[in-house]
A = this chain, B = another copy of it.
């Protein structure tokens, strides 16, 4: 079936390709389709190759590929530009020698270093969260103070339009700063960063996602966008920030700052780095929501393919340190040192631990709310999906992006102002007033405008008000209007070129309609008193809405429970999230998954599609494969590496079978990055003979080059050197995982996913290479409306 050709041959599909094939094409796409008959009982499959190449982009090296300005807007594509992480150690001779040389004490030291690093990650993440919180508090405080003064001044004399303009201009100014740094300096810092971190933890190398520059832009950006009054939260970006901190700290150097501390050199490989990044992401969640366990579960849910107890425990340590650090510094900032009551950026406040938190007969109501959350979440996601496609097509220039962000900021201020202006929901200003900026506006003295509590405030405070303000603080009309406007504002805002999260807006929308639901319930039931607490419904609504949008499950339940500090609400929150997920999934995927798909990232789900047992490795694999001999000519290697569109960044090393035209028997696997280092150091057989003193290549040389291996173009190989030979034996992984070609797709998938592989060699019964399975080969298959569907691979 599989057509096996010569040893060095070009793959028909450029999976795991190092760069882009630069075929000059007009804007648009030229599809080269061909069909093939599968050997199973399946029908015809379309396997496409779609070349939409961004001409402006110059992909020079693996990591420096940069963020594409244009992303394909067809989510049925898988981009070939993403590479996988090498989570599987290449156990070559150098590696084994190092491991064997290391004493038990050495391993102990490494283990201690890992703990120290995790502690540092937690500490720094907590510190960053603290800085963001304080900066936002102060900036937003100044802004609201100025606007409030202005409104008060003009309420009496008339001319509130001036206040509106002031508010809008202040917002737009903040947002402009935030958008400019993101759009012009580091587009990778846009959005919440959660989709990117999900992909990274899944094993996809997203370019520039864990750079120092991204962190700086992210932190400044999120401060600006929250202070700018956008319908965004500062929680999502914390997860990204934590991940960047982890990637930086664990490597003991900064490539951007050109500073190498010469520590933690052992951890300079993808396996270790990815583990630390999971700790960082967990620390970020922990700092954002005061939810250390939720953070661990988030990391595991998104990232871990293989459960490792020590790793999990370290992740938990980082999370704990992170929330503790934040709490500690905030307590000092709030002049109550030692008061450990604000463990996260958002605190839901204490829910009265009434012994009767909820009744059994309320559970169906909660489930109905979950379904509503699922529906509203699906609507949100569909609207945002259309908007994103629109943005991809028409708003891809940085200046346009900045202008759109400023427009949204101004519109947000205007809408908020209008809502407050036309609302006549006045509430008495009690003595235990928790509002920071109560707006009197047209209310009587001693009263304040209730609509302003929701709009004239940072979203975190608004959520807390909706959860905890006593019954009667809001009238139903205020809440309905607020829900409606905030829903569309939040939907418009997500995907702007600013650094911002979607957690808090979702919670806020949900809390608003949840509270509305509670108020209506109390008014229509004869004995309203038992439904007395609308805050409870606000909490359930918030969970439902957030679940409907992001579709996280276990981790979100735990995060919500930890944020409320009340274990009793666990069951209703879980049921609500589950319902929201089921209902929402019926219509459309979760928001993060939509954005991942729109980026055409080859994301591996946890299991192969259920109905894929009839596919085998033979059908799934890429064939023919470029292979090398144990001792290979330098020229051949250089040629293969230069032709970036036609290899998988990993090459089986084979022993030729005598008197046969077939592929050789597999005896190892070598990575593109390893070959690059070998070429750079000119590890040629002939040179080794002539220069006896030549230093033997060590693992350190590979580590120093990690993670930004130079492109093949930058390595000069003379014509003479091209005739030399390279001995790959010592550097290849001599025991790559292999599967027979009859292995079913789910089995291949399980092996691949469980071990976090990058390349899986498919062999025949004689141990000869017949194909190679990479991430894209597996990610292509997904369950669509009409059963199993196959996605197409695109060059961009």
Contacts and interface: CB of A to CB of B under 8 A. Distances in A.
A533 interface: no
Contacts of A89: 747
Interface in A344-401: 350, 353, 355-360
A353 B356 contact: no
A111 to B, nearest CB: 8
A751 B614 CA distance: 24
Nearest to A98: B613
A565 interface: yes
Contacts of A307: 300, 304-307, 606
A610 B107 contact: yes
Nearest to A786: B104
A310 B750 CA distance: 15
B91 A747 contact: yes
Interface string A295-338: 01100110011111110110011001101100010000000101
A104 B562 contact: no
A613 B96 contact: yes
A574 B611 contact: no
A107 B611 contact: yes
Nearest to A343: B567
A754 B306 contact: yes
A734 interface: yes
Contact of A567 (B290, B300, B665): B290
Interface in A530-571: 553-554, 557-558, 561-562, 565-568, 570-571
Contacts of A747: 89, 91, 735
Contacts of A607: 308, 310
Nearest to A763: B767
Interface string A743-768: 11001001100110000000101110
Interface string A730-747: 000011011110111001
Contact of A353 (B91, B350, B562): B350
Copies of chain A in the complex: 2
B787 A104 contact: yes
Contacts of A553: 309, 313
Contacts of A107: 610-611
A718 interface: no
Nearest to A783: B104
Given A554-B313, A765-B665, A568 B100 contact: no
A766 B755 CA distance: 25
Contacts of A40: 100
Nearest to A108: B610
Contacts of A324: 571
Closest 7 CB pairs of A and B: A99-B613, A107-B610, A735-B743, A754-B754, A100-B614, A767-B767, A341-B355
20 contacts: A96-B613, A96-B744, A99-B613, A100-B613, A107-B610, A293-B293, A301-B312, A305-B306, A306-B306, A306-B307, A307-B307, A313-B553, A316-B574, A339-B355, A665-B765, A734-B740, A737-B751, A766-B766, A766-B767, A767-B767
Given A316-B574, A341-B355, A667-B765, 14 more contacts: A306-B306, A306-B307, A309-B553, A309-B554, A323-B570, A338-B360, A340-B356, A655-B765, A735-B740, A737-B739, A737-B751, A763-B767, A766-B766, A767-B767
